[in-house]
Amino acid sequence: MIPERNLMAASGLQDKQQSIWVADITDMMAEGPNVILRLPKIRQAIVASPEPLLWFSKTRMELEMLFLEALNRHKKCSDGNGVVNESDAIMHAIGRRCEKLMMEVAQRMHTDSSAVYDMFDVLS
């Protein structure tokens, strides 16, 4: 906290109101990522159209799992000098599946007129 920018002191709230404010903020921090569900437009988007959210969530999870498998496979296919056997069929299959999923995400984003156009933003 920056003392010169103490919003609580500058707010003019009474002690009881400040205590309520602190309790609300503490509750939100304890909720973690689920705090976003407090936003009415986010809740409405999930309730009104859950399929795209579920599809993107499932696809992202699959991409993350493939990435971890690729890291694991990379380690297994490396020799003592760190040179990777590029002819490994499983590495190629993982790469093809990742490319396919990324193309599906890009097509879906284009079809849904997404505001995000950078695939690196999607994966980060």
Is pLDDT above 80 for 119? no
Percent residues over pLDDT 70 in the chain: 88
Q: How much is the pTM?
A: 0.55
CA dihedral defined by 69, 77, 75, 72, rounded to 10 degrees? 10
Contact 61, 55 (CB under 8 A): no
The pLDDT assigned to 116 comes to 60
Q: What secondary structure does DSSP assign to 67-118, as a single string?
A: HHHHHHHHHHTB-TTS-B-TT-HHHHHHHHHHHHHHHHHHHHHHHTT-S---
- Four-residue CA torsion sign, 98, 121, 47, 64: positive
Q: For residue 47, what pLDDT is reported?
A: 74
- Residue 50: its pLDDT value, please? 76
SS3 content of the chain, % helix, strand, coil (to 5): 75, 0, 20
Q: What is the pLDDT of residue 21?
A: 83
Residue-wise pLDDT for 40-99, tens only, equals 888 777 777 778 778 888 998 999 999 999 999 988 888 878 788 888 899 999 999 999
Domain positions in the chain are 13-48, 50-123
Q: Round to whole Å and give the CA distance between 103 and 91.
A: 18
